[in-house]
Every structure is written in C-alpha cells, then in structure tokens.
C-alpha cells in the first residue's frame, strides 16, 4: 500500500483556472506538509498542518489554500493559476512532534504545468 499518495500525478491547465491536488497518508501521522519544487530542483515548504490545524504558512500567496478534512488528508487548492505556479508539488507527512523533528515521508509528486 502506498504510504503517501497524491492525485493527480500530472496536471496541465491554463492560466486563470482553479485546480486542486489531493493528498492522503495511511501512516497514522498527525503532521502533513505541502512543498513546491521548482525547475532547478529547489524544494521549499509551503504549508504544514498538525492534526488538521495550520501551523506553518511560509509566505505563500493566498491563491493557495490548503484544506485538511481530517488528519489523513491535506488537499491543496490553487485559484487563478499563473505561469510561475508551474512546478512539482509534493505532499509529505511525519510523526507527531515539532516540525522537522522527525523524518518525513513524501508522496510521488504532482507535476503542474500552467500554459
């Protein structure tokens, strides 16, 4: 069974559209994250949720809105997509504790292309 899964794997859309990426983990972890990896492979955290509560928001534009219906799911909704949003988005989870205290388990990534 996949520990952290994301859908879709690929997403191609036009500027101005609204899209969502879904993430689910079956590890029983309390903490989940969204990361953005740009074309130069630089990986940067966007959000962190602990037990459905937002604990880290790294100056991400408010066009990006994470939603956690339960602690096993953390979805990412993006409004008014821009060319610069093109990247690979990774979901991750980790055991409970201070952010970064434990190893993180990553999903396979969603490659978003905005045209």
Partner 1 sequence: SQQGEEDPQALSIQEGENATMNCSYKTSINNLQWYRQNSGRGLVHLILIRSNEREKHSGRLRVTLDTSKKSSSLLITASRAADTASYFCATTRPGNTPLVFGKGTRLSVIA
Residue 20, strand partner residues: 77
Euclidean distance between CA atoms 92 and 4, whole angstroms: 7
33 binds partner 1 (CB under 8 A): yes
How far is residue 25's CA from residue 16's CA, in Å, rounded to a whole number? 30
Kindly state the smallest distance separating residue 64's Cβ from partner 1, in Å: 16
95 counts as binding partner 1 under rule CB under 8 A:
no
Q: Does 18 interact with partner 1 (rule: CB under 8 A)?
A: no
90 binds partner 1 (CB under 8 A): yes
- CA-CA distances (angstroms) from residue 57 to 66, 67, 73, 76, 91? 10, 13, 17, 13, 14
Nearer to partner 1, 61 or 102 (CB): 102
- DSSP letter at 84? G
Cβ proximity to partner 1: between 19 and 108 the closer is 108
Rule CB under 8 A: say whether 66 interacts with partner 1: no
Residues binding partner 1 (CB under 8 A)? 4, 33, 40-45, 48, 55-56, 58, 90, 92, 98-109
């Amino acid at each position: 069974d996949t520990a952290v899964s994301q859908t879709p794997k690929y997403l191609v859309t036009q500027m101005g559209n609204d899209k969502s990426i879904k993430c689910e983990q079956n590890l029983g972890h309390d903490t989940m994250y969204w990361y953005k990896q740009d074309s130069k492979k630089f990986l940067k955290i966007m959000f962190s949720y602990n037990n459905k509560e937002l604990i880290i928001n790294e100056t991400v534009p408010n066009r990006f809105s994470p939603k956690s219906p339960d602690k096993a799911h953390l979805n990412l909704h993006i409004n008014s997509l821009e060319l610069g949003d093109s990247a690979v988005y990774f979901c991750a989870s980790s055991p409970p504790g201070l952010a970064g205290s434990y190893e993180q388990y990553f999903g396979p990534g969603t490659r978003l292309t905005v045209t």
